[in-house]
A and B are shown apart, each in its own frame.
Chain A
């Protein structure tokens, strides 16, 4: 069943529409209630990994619909105009949609739209917001959780079949994200990050679909098959090394994404094409796994090139020099 969550008139012959697919299973066990899980994606119009997750999840659920209990709501495009125009933010308003939650009934159009989305999600027992990095950096599958909600969210996050769970230090600005807003309103909401903007990695997508089915099984919403589930590494900021460009130029990595690297190993170069020179050679500051790798080659000073998950860094916070 397709439902319209919110519709707003655009100036010329069109409505902005946010729609969802609702899948109704059998009644969940317990006192006469339906459990409900919501999957949202497309807040950032340049992130498309969630498209495959939504499609594949619904396909598998429909294939064995007799195994489904409760309600699954799939919102594949929270920022439809951004997706249509390959635009991260909301076109014209130029606002990052993930900075306007929980929205405002008396505010500008998109703030009102955000408020409608939040109202529609209320009542979910859990919500998963699927992101795919951005057009610049490739990411492994991960759940990002702010420290504030660690106790509540970690048990859910561990079921999602990701490579890692990153416990982020909270920045005030994150308070205006969908996930923070929903968590404040009592709907446990997990942010999944993976892959690269403007692309789909079906292998990653399948892992997340397995993870969502695994979570649904724990919630009593799914009695069907679930694939092999991996144990994620749970990491704090202190277990992560950020590698940033110190020079401008063209970045040429010499390792691949997810590579295991050793301290001192050459990871790539930044070159000056006009002068045929190497501006900077990047070496590994520690042993670890490259879980973020820059794909977009042009860089300024400060550009994020890689993030390395330090070996034995899990929840220990050792520093490496």
Chain B
């Protein structure tokens, strides 16, 4: 293993922010794994740290295939992490909306530009990311429909679901989109949490990445075969909205099955304590996403359901 310095940004009154990569093996740029670009992606940081630990062991045991190099960047934005902010502290810029970046541009463009430059030549790109909405997901691999996406490769992670998203204009500024445009097969891996650690899903994510690297011949590692993934187009998910605002009582977790008409959540009157609304499942299905905040707005997405696939 050796360290690669990717970018350094200096601040008047803080230690420099150094973006570092951990490189394993020697040879072709086979795979790159990238951790948090947002300051609240603590679970993602944890997963990357565990991958670095695991890859170190594998390298010491001679289990990285010859002629293959793997790069792990455990964190891009440690500055925001250390001050408890999700976005760039100075101007609240979301770094994951600043790709492809620009070495002559604004501060955040320089950061993302340097990161993309460092990762763009790898064959496979894996980013541990978070969604713009707060809540919990079923673990899945997410890809943008850019024309370069390859869902059969995404299945090799062995996570329960692969979601393909048709990019909207805003998505053209994400790493995933720009990485694919650089001809890297780019995957975003989502586990259930962001700002707290869930050991079980972290282990599942580490296993998924090691499984993928094994199947692509980049490492040698005995792994469980995982799930056979369902591929879903994001627009096929059914959004379940709350019709009122109030205190939110969630009754179902991501990954659980629901039946048509089942009560899956309740909105409680925040003054008088009564049930203002029973949120019911509009279809048989599996919970893909769940709103987890204790308060809910009128019109919020309480759940996103995967319509049950009939045999």
- B130 CB → nearest A CB, Å: 12
* Contact A10-B12, Cβ < 8 Å, known A244-B104, A302-B106: no
B246 at the interface (CB under 8 A from A): yes
A11 touches B106 (CB 8 A): no
User: Across the interface, which residues of A come within 8 angstroms of B90, CB to CB?
Assistant: 298, 300
- B91 CB → nearest A CB, Å: 7
A155 at the interface (CB under 8 A from B): no
B295 at the interface (CB under 8 A from A): yes
B169 touches A11 (CB 8 A): no
B11 at the interface (CB under 8 A from A): yes
B307 at the interface (CB under 8 A from A): no
B92 touches A88 (CB 8 A): yes
Fill in one digit per residue for B167-198: 1 if any A CB lies within 8 Å of its CB, else 0.
01110110000000000000000000000000
User: Across the interface, which residues of B come within 8 angstroms of A250, CB to CB?
Assistant: 12
* Contact A10-B297, Cβ < 8 Å, known A94-B87, A302-B110: yes
- B171 CB → nearest A CB, Å: 9
- A269 CB → nearest B CB, Å: 14
Give A302's nearest chain B residue, CB to CB: B107
B106 touches A303 (CB 8 A): yes
A272 to B297, CA, bound (A): 47
A162 to B106, CA, bound (A): 26
A10 touches B106 (CB 8 A): no
A12 to B97, CA, bound (A): 31
B298 touches A172 (CB 8 A): no
A109 touches B297 (CB 8 A): yes
A89 at the interface (CB under 8 A from B): yes
A176 touches B170 (CB 8 A): yes
Fill in one digit per residue for B274-311: 1 if any A CB lies within 8 Å of its CB, else 0.
00000000000000000000011111110000000000
User: Across the interface, which residues of A come within 8 angstroms of B80, CB to CB?
Assistant: none
* Contact A13-B106, Cβ < 8 Å, known A89-B92, A108-B301: no
A90 to B12, CA, bound (A): 29
Q: Which of A13, A112, A176 contacts B271 (CB 8 A)?
A: A13
User: Across the interface, which residues of A come within 8 angstroms of B273, CB to CB?
Assistant: none
B249 at the interface (CB under 8 A from A): no
A173 at the interface (CB under 8 A from B): yes
B residues 73-107 touching A (CB-CB < 8 Å): 86-87, 90-92, 94, 97, 104-107
B12 touches A176 (CB 8 A): no
User: Across the interface, which residues of A come within 8 angstroms of B297, CB to CB?
Assistant: 8-11, 16, 109
A136 to B169, CA, bound (A): 26
A residues 141-185 touching B (CB-CB < 8 Å): 172-176
Q: Which residue, A8, A9, A12, A108, has most C-beta atoms of chain B within 10 A? A: A9
- A223 CB → nearest B CB, Å: 41
Q: Which residue, B13, B87, B297, has most C-beta atoms of chain A within 10 A? A: B297
User: Across the interface, which residues of B come within 8 angstroms of A80, CB to CB?
Assistant: none
User: Across the interface, which residues of A come within 8 angstroms of B172, CB to CB?
Assistant: 172-173
A2 at the interface (CB under 8 A from B): no
B270 touches A248 (CB 8 A): no
A302 touches B105 (CB 8 A): yes
B169 touches A173 (CB 8 A): yes
A273 to B13, CA, bound (A): 10
A residues 278-317 touching B (CB-CB < 8 Å): 298, 300-304
User: Across the interface, which residues of B come within 8 angstroms of A273, CB to CB?
Assistant: 12
B residues 1-27 touching A (CB-CB < 8 Å): 9-13
User: Across the interface, which residues of B come within 8 angstroms of A70, CB to CB?
Assistant: none
A244 to B102, CA, bound (A): 13
B109 touches A176 (CB 8 A): no
Q: Which of B106, B244, B245, B301 contacts A244 (CB 8 A)?
A: B106
Q: Which of B106, B110, B169, B246 contacts A304 (CB 8 A)?
A: B106
Q: Which residue, B109, B245, B246, B271, has most C-beta atoms of chain A within 10 A? A: B245
- A306 CB → nearest B CB, Å: 14
User: Across the interface, which residues of B come within 8 angstroms of A172, CB to CB?
Assistant: 169, 172
B270 touches A12 (CB 8 A): yes
Q: Which of B11, B94, B173, B247 contacts A248 (CB 8 A)?
A: B11
A118 to B44, CA, bound (A): 37
Fill in one digit per residue for B137-181: 1 if any A CB lies within 8 Å of its CB, else 0.
000000000000000000000000000000011101100000000
- B30 CB → nearest A CB, Å: 30
Give A270's nearest chain B residue, CB to CB: B12
A108 touches B106 (CB 8 A): no
Q: Which of A94, A176, A300 contacts B10 (CB 8 A)?
A: A300
A22 at the interface (CB under 8 A from B): no
A64 to B271, CA, bound (A): 48
Q: Which of A93, A107, A244, A300 contacts B11 (CB 8 A)?
A: A300
B91 touches A136 (CB 8 A): yes
A108 to B172, CA, bound (A): 20
- B300 CB → nearest A CB, Å: 5
A93 to B94, CA, bound (A): 12
B244 touches A12 (CB 8 A): no
B173 touches A301 (CB 8 A): no
A203 at the interface (CB under 8 A from B): no
Residues of B within 8 A of A (CB): 9-13, 86-87, 90-92, 94, 97, 104-110, 132-133, 168-170, 172-173, 239, 244-248, 270-271, 295-301
Per CB-CB distance, the 6 closest pairs between chain A and chain B, nearest first, are: A9-B298, A9-B245, A11-B295, A302-B107, A175-B169, A300-B107
Write 10 A-B pairs (CB below 8 A) sorted by A numbering: A8-B299, A9-B299, A107-B239, A108-B300, A173-B97, A173-B173, A248-B11, A272-B12, A302-B106, A302-B108
Known: A13-B270, A301-B10. 10 other contacts (CB 8 A): A10-B297, A11-B295, A88-B92, A89-B92, A173-B173, A244-B105, A248-B9, A272-B12, A300-B11, A302-B105
